[in-house]
Structures are given as C-alpha cells and as structure tokens.
Amino acid sequence: MSPAVQEEPRTTRQGYLDCIHCGLCLSSCPTYRVLGNEMDSPRGRVHLMRAYDEGRTPITDTFVEHMFRCLDCRACETACPSGVRFGTMMEDMRGAILDERGADPLTRFVMNHVFPYPWRFHLAARLLQFYRQSGLQSLVRATGVLARIAPGYAAAEAMTPEAPLQTGVQTGHTYRAAGRARGTVALFSGCVMNSLLGDVNRATVALLNRAGFDVAVPDGQVCCGALANHAGLRDTARGMARKNLGRFPVEGVDAVIVNASGCGAMLAEYPLLVEGAEAFSSKVQDVSAFLARASFDDALTRPVRARVGYDDPCHLLHAQGVSRPPRDLLRAVPGVEFVEVAGADECCGSAGVYNLTHRELSMEILDRKMERVRAASLDILVTGNPGCLFQLRYGARRHGLDLEVTHIAEFLHRAV
Ligand code: SF4
Ligand code: SF4
C-alpha cells in the first residue's frame, strides 16, 4: 500500500483555489459597477492575490491600490457559487502588504493608541462634539478657509458625523428586566456606539429589558478591532480580540448582543484571529435577529405612522446572513408602511473610513444609492451600523432629501 500523501494545509489566502472564474460576482461588486475594470472586481482581485502568492507579481503601487479600493463589503461572497471567502482573503492580503510596506503612520497611531482605549476614544469623540457645538464648525464652513488651505481635509471635514452629546450605557453594570427575567444577555457596547450614538445603546438595552432579558455590559471591553483588521493591522486586531475575549462571560449568558453590524461580523469571526474563541463567537447575535427570534413583534404596539425603508449593512447581510429579521420587525410596527428600496442590499460606500480614504469613489457609490432612496419617497430610512448611519445621513443632506435616517433600535424603541 502506498503511504498516504500529506497535504500541506492551505493558508487563508489560498481560498483563491476555490475560484472557478465564473464572474457571477462581478455585478454585485460596487467598485466594478462604478469603474468597470476587471482588476477592481472580485475575480480580478482574486487573480492578483494568486499571482502574488505564486511569485508571479510583486506588490506594486497599482497592486496596492486595487486591494485597498475594495470596500471589503463581501457582496461577492453572497454572489459566489463556489464559496470563496473573499473577506478573510482580503484582510490576509492587506496584512501581507503592510508587512512588506508598513502602515500609514496616522492609521497605525489611531489604531494602536486610540481605538484600544475607550477613554481616549471617548475624549476624541467629545472633542468632535465640541468642534460641532461650539460654532467652530459653522465658522470653518462659512469662511471656506479649510477648503482654501487644505482641500483634502475640507472634504474629510464635510463628512464629520452629526453627533450630539449622548450618554451611552454604563460598563460594569447589569440592566435588569422588569419583573422575572427569562434570561441574561451580554451587550457589546462598542467604541463608536457608546461615544457617538449613546442613545442607540440605551434604546438597545431598553428593548432587551422589555423583551425580558437582563443585560450585562462587561467592564473593560474595547473596540472590536474591525477597522484595524480591514486595514491589514492583524496584530492590533488580535490584541483587541484577546482583551474582549477575556472580558465577556460565555457561560451563563444566552447571547452576546451587538447593535453595530461591522462589530458583530468581527466578533463572530474572532476564531480566525484567536484560538479558542469559538464558544464566545457562537453566541454573537445582532440585536434585530435576537429580538425577532424572541418574538418581540408582540411588544411593538405603539403606532409610528410613516413610510419606512431599510438599508442592509453589508456586514449584517453578507457576513452574518441577516436580512429578514429587521424587515419583519419594522413591518410589525403599527402604522408603518414598509417600502422595499431598490438596491437596499448594495453597499453605501461608507466601509469604515473608505469615505475618507477613497472619497470620490465612495461618493459615486453613495449617489447611486441615494437616487434610489429618493425614488422610494420615504419618511424614515432605517439601518443597523454606525458607519452606514453616518454615511446615509450625509447622503440625505448631500441630496437635499427631507429624510430621517435612524438605527433600528432607536426606531423600534418608539413603538414600545
Ligand atoms: S468585498 Fe465588495 S468591493 Fe471588495 S471585491 Fe467583493 S464585492 Fe467588490
Ligand atoms: S463568483 Fe466566486 S468563483 Fe465566480 S469569479 Fe467570483 S469569486 Fe470566483
């Protein structure tokens, strides 16, 4: 009998071997739709990754641009009949690029010295709020001074999120359900969510309490690491994952609830970064999916009379496969006229800081979406991720739409 042949284990990036070059992913890719260039399509990027891995191409400036032009939206994964795990391949490839070329110093500084420390992130968020509320922002915009001296920064400044002072939830605290609890969940409070969208976190806790769950908010939790991971800073992301894994109880909680889909996707994929994270990750659930499963539609009794649409965050739809639960909950609210918006499953162009690093392309993608939102004549557009929320609010302003853009937790809270 011939000895068994030992196969070398595949690396993550060798997922390109699953690609059969069928091209079914092309039309789902936002960068391909805008640019029409094969190398800015999933298939083209897969081809480039393989060529690099097999030593047929070095990492050139053009190669880097094609890789970083990808929004990591993972729409190609949903479209792919061959199961190509594009997101993890891309993150791995970006890690290799950074190993060879180093990260941009500002990105490295922010990812290593701001995001992992909740109080520093909180301080940065408060400075942003002061800038807006002190009148300084209005002055900068009215005089056009920034646009004259640094047009790039002025474009970034135009994107600063509307973020009034909002108190988030208290970490290290358990919020009790009224009456006898049917279970306990842990809340991932997030960095952006608890600093810039504190109302959403408080609404999330109120909904979970109303559904009959005690909500524990573990102390010492930090940013999930998604932005660092998407940027290719794998070790930074791994460090954040380890911190969070040490802070979250797994035994004794029914679920780990997340209300930011980018964070949810990251937490669910911790096992790709850290060994032994499976038990934690298996409990991660988006708040909309959890509430729908808990039959929360019965609690939605207060009418909200409005034409309401829903925009899928990519990392909820493509990375976590959640599409129906948020729609079912919205439809269950008395008075809501639910409208399915064309292209709701397409990326809004936010993608973390993509709207700052690739502003022109991001705006093209956003403009296409906002035209379809306009055609739907909505009163309210609901979504489930902070980046999408800020981008769509900006899109509404940019297109002069009289449209409220809100988070699903905040919206549902109006109906209980
Ligand atoms: S992740 Fe999104 S932007 Fe990147 S290749 Fe896939 S579909 Fe295109
Ligand atoms: S759909 Fe999948 S198999 Fe087909 S070209 Fe795209 S990545 Fe390759």
Last residue of a domain, one of 230, 265, 292: 292
Mean pLDDT, rounded, for 50-70: 96
Residue span of the structural domain in which 134 resides: 106-158
Instruction: Compute CA distances 41 → 23, 35, 37, 67, 256, whole Å.
Output: 9, 9, 7, 10, 34
pLDDT for 5 equals: 54
Is the same domain home to 332 and 395?
yes
Is the same domain home to 92 and 111?
no
Is the same domain home to 239 and 346?
no
User: Which of these ranges, 54-68, 148-162, 315-329, has the smallest mean pLDDT?
Assistant: 148-162
Is the same domain home to 275 and 191?
yes
Q: Which of 313, 215, 297 is nearest to 256 (CA)?
A: 215
Kindly state whether residue 2 falls inside one of the protein's structural domains.
Answer: no
Last residue of a domain, one of 292, 317, 352: 292
More confident residue, 92 or 13: 92
As a whole number, the mean pLDDT across the chain is 92
Kindly state whether residue 4 falls inside one of the protein's structural domains.
Answer: no
Is the same domain home to 183 and 135?
no
Kindly state whether residue 379 falls inside one of the protein's structural domains.
Answer: yes
More confident residue, 112 or 161: 112
Cα within 13 Å of Cα(102), Cβ side: 4
Is the same domain home to 316 and 355?
yes
Count: domains in the chain: 4
Which residue's alpha carbon is nearest to atom 4 within ligand 1? 70
Kindly state whether residue 394 falls inside one of the protein's structural domains.
Answer: yes
Query: What is the band of 147 on the pLDDT scale with cuts at 50, 70, 90?
Result: confident
pTM here is 0.91
Residues near 1 by beta carbon (within 8 Å), at least 6 away in sequence: none
Q: For the domain that residue 69 is a member of, what is the CATH number?
A: 1.10.1060.10
Q: Are 365 and 34 in contact (CB under 8 A)?
A: yes
Sheet with 255-258, edge to edge strand ranges:
173-175, 213-217, 183-187, 255-258, 284-286
Task: Say whether pLDDT at 7 is over 70.
Answer: no
CB of 89 closer than 6 angstroms to any ligand 2 atom: no
Give the number of whichever ligand sits closest to the CA of residue 15: 2
Is the same domain home to 209 and 279?
yes
Mean pLDDT, rounded, for 209-223: 96
Kindly state whether residue 206 falls inside one of the protein's structural domains.
Answer: yes
Which residues form the pocket of ligand 1, taking CB atoms under 6 Å from any ligand atom? 28-31, 42, 45, 70-76, 86
Is the same domain home to 262 and 275?
yes
Kindly state whether residue 252 falls inside one of the protein's structural domains.
Answer: yes
Kindly state whether residue 1 falls inside one of the protein's structural domains.
Answer: no
> What SS3 state is found at 65?
helix
Is the same domain home to 377 and 308?
yes
Q: Which of 410, 386, 370, 415 is nearest to 316 (CA)?
A: 386
pLDDT for 404 equals: 98
Is the same domain home to 39 and 124?
no
Is the same domain home to 134 and 207?
no
> What SS3 state is found at 148?
helix
Kindly state whether residue 354 falls inside one of the protein's structural domains.
Answer: yes
Which residue's alpha carbon is nearest to atom 1 within ligand 2? 80
Radius of gyration of the chain (CA): 22
CB of 80 closer than 6 angstroms to any ligand 2 atom: yes
Instruction: Compute CA distances 200 → 44, 252, 260, whole Å.
Output: 39, 25, 10
Q: Are 270 and 241 in contact (CB under 8 A)?
A: yes
Is the same domain home to 149 and 188?
no
Ligand 2 centroid to 90 CA: how many Å?
A: 14
Of 38, 40, 70, 354, best ligand 1 pocket probe by most atoms within 8 Å of the beta carbon: 70
Last residue of a domain, one of 277, 292, 307: 292
